[in-house]
Amino acid sequence: MSPQDARERSEGRSGPVTTESTMGAYEPSDDAIVLLARRHGLDPLAPSAASIQYLDQAIERVARAYLTAAPAELTEEVRLHVAWVRRLLDNSRAPAQHHRLYVQFGYLTGILAQLSLAQGDHDATQGYCAAAMQAADEAGDGQLRAWILSIQAMLAAYTNRHQDVIDLTGAGLQAAGQAASATAVKLASLQARAHAVLGDRQAAEAALARARQTTAQVHPEEQERGLFAFPEEKLASHEGQVWLQLGAPERAQESLQRALRLLDSSKGARRSPVDQAMVRLHLARSHAELGQFDEARQQAEEALALHRQRPVDHTRRRAHELATLLKPYGESEATQKILQELTRA
């Protein structure tokens, strides 16, 4: 979906936003919403400063949990909060309160988009992104809009629409404005990778430089926000992917080894098994391209062990890509074994 498509789908509507993916069979019951609200001593229908504060805290908690929890475990919890925010919006009258609820709806629906992407449900990802983008437009929130565009850019990358990635990240960086944010770093990194895939080394290096310059200005606390963060280890991983795409596996290994050291020394949510698996899969590819097949097998085995801790669609896709790369070199029994495991991932 292009930025223009997202804008057109969000214009001309007001009131609570919905999509087929956020309604129907997935709609939590009124009883479930009442239980959630009363568990925290809040009114299930009437918005208040207390309910808005609770929702802000819930969004931050879920964003941190995202990096280590199974996507399916979080999905139902987030859907319940989305349904509650929609009911609060129905009863909201104060403009400032209404605005804040729209922002919360946008972030919660964006989290559902990210969870759907992790589970390989691209149709749901698109639907949730459309709803979140409408909320961002209703609220006039550029940072929310930029973050949703980054999810759309990830989806475009997974489906090999690399020019769309460049267009979406460009729109996202424009929406983010001059503020140094983790989202801006993510957008520039995604853009660098897309330029690299298309063979434009100069543009890829320029986007990487922008990402590096921005990350130096991001407040450290912002890089502890889980799903909303894009810390140094993620940037180093993206750098490695850029150099792989540009045909420089040795240079890629420098960035990927730095990402691995940072991940191994991280604590809490930043020690993400998904990120660790992805870096090792890219390292395995770099070793394979250099003819270092023993090292490639070792990294692949470690990546698969991490993938089993938190299986998501993007590590599965990368595992299958690595299997395709290794297939011509599968004469040895050890390589045959890892090929089978990568294919089954």
**Low pLDDT (below 50) residues in the chain:** 1-16, 18-25
The residues spanned by each domain of the chain are: 1-140, 141-230, 231-345
Q: pLDDT value at position 335?
A: 61
Angle of helix 122-139 relative to helix 3-10, nearest 10 degrees, comes to 60
| pLDDT tens, position by position, 296-343 | 989 999 999 998 888 888 888 888 888 888 777 666 665 667 767 777
Distance (Å, rounded) from C-alpha 239 to C-alpha 236? 5
The CA–CA distances, whole Å, from 131 to 15, 87, 167, 226, 282 equal 12, 16, 20, 22, 33
For 231-345, CATH number? 1.25.40.10
For residue 120, give the 3-state DSSP assignment: coil
Give residues with Cβ within 8 angstroms of 329, minimum separation 6.
288, 293, 335
Distance (Å, rounded) from C-alpha 339 to C-alpha 167? 36
CB 65 within 8 A of CB 226: yes
| pLDDT tens, position by position, 195-205 | 999 999 999 99
The dihedral formed by the CA atoms of 201, 203, 208 and 213, expressed in degrees to the nearest 10: 140
The CA–CA distances, whole Å, from 115 to 310, 314, 332 equal 12, 12, 38
| pLDDT tens, position by position, 128-144 | 999 999 999 999 999 99
CB 104 within 8 A of CB 59: yes
Distance (Å, rounded) from C-alpha 47 to C-alpha 167? 38
The secondary structure of residue 27, as a DSSP letter, is P
Two tokens at 111? 């989290």
Q: pLDDT value at position 22?
A: 42
